[in-house]
């Protein structure tokens, strides 16, 4: 097979562009790191991860009960840690700045209760059953509704009324609480 002339030059040009593009982002790394520790960024990441796990569970064939159970357990553990950390760290902080909008926080607590009830019901079901599939659809719907409200209303309230430093402090406290919950679950 004959090698085309000039292909090496094209490769170096491509790699040079990639390297230059990456190098141009270096000044932004501290800002990206700070933003990554914001409570809203951490919670959005959790929301996307659980959404992906639910999608994977939905796509997993029903005859594969072991994999479905493993995926459900990941969803269960992540949602329970996420909800508990939100209830103990994030929602009290939001309530402090909500000035007349505490009904948003009350609604979020109620939605967590529904999600936790569904998770507990599902934990005792056969993951290949129709009943499990129906509860999974209900869980997904409840989680999507909650995420839409939380990211739309609570996050906006939070980002409008809190400083960048407060967002990072709450993010650090939330991350720490989630780690503690995961360690407790593992023990």
21-37 per-position pLDDT tens digit: 666 566 554 444 445 68
Which H or E run includes 148? helix 130-149
Separation of alpha carbons 50 and 143, rounded Å: 9
Helices (H), the chain: 7-24, 29-36, 39-59, 65-85, 91-97, 102-123, 130-149, 155-161, 164-186
Going by the DSSP 8-state scheme, the letter that residue 64 receives in this structure is -
Mean pLDDT, the chain, rounded, equals 87
What is the SS3 assignment for 45?
helix
What is the SS3 assignment for 91?
helix
> Tokens for 56?
């994977």
Among 16-25, 28-37, 113-122, 152-161, which stretch is predicted with the lowest mean pLDDT? 28-37
pLDDT of residue 14: 61
Among 27-41, 86-100, 108-122, 127-141, which stretch is predicted with the lowest mean pLDDT? 27-41
pLDDT of residue 97: 86
130-154 per-position pLDDT tens digit: 999 999 999 999 999 999 999 999 9
Radius of gyration of the chain (CA): 22
Whether residue 175 contacts residue 86, with contact meaning beta carbons closer than 8 Å, is answered with no
Per DSSP, the residues of 162-176 read: S-HHHHHHHHHHHHH
Whether residue 109 contacts residue 87, with contact meaning beta carbons closer than 8 Å, is answered with yes
Among 2-11, 27-36, 57-66, 150-159, which stretch is predicted with the lowest mean pLDDT? 27-36
Separation of alpha carbons 86 and 26, rounded Å: 33
Domains by residue range for the chain, with CATH: 1-32 (no CATH), 37-186 (1.20.120)
pLDDT of residue 115: 97
């Amino acid at each position: 097979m004959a090698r085309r002339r000039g292909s090496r030059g094209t490769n170096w040009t491509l790699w040079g562009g990639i390297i230059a593009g990456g190098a141009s982002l270096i000044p932004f790394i501290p800002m990206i790191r700070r933003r990554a520790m914001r409570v809203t960024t951490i919670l959005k990441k959790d929301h996307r991860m659980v959404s992906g796990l639910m999608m994977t569970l939905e796509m997993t064939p029903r005859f594969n009960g072991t994999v479905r159970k493993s995926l459900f357990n990941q969803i269960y553990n992540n949602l329970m840690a996420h909800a508990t950390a939100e209830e103990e760290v994030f929602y009290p902080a939001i309530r402090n700045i909500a000035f007349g909008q505490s009904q948003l926080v009350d609604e979020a607590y109620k939605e967590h209760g529904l999600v936790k009830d569904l998770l507990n019901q599902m934990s005792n079901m056969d993951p290949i059953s129709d009943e499990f599939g129906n509860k999974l659809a209900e869980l997904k719907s409840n989680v999507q509704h909650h995420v839409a409200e939380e990211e739309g209303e609570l996050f906006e309230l939070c980002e409008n009324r809190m400083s960048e430093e407060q967002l990072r402090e709450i993010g650090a406290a939330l991350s720490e609480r989630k780690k503690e919950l995961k360690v407790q679950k593992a023990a």
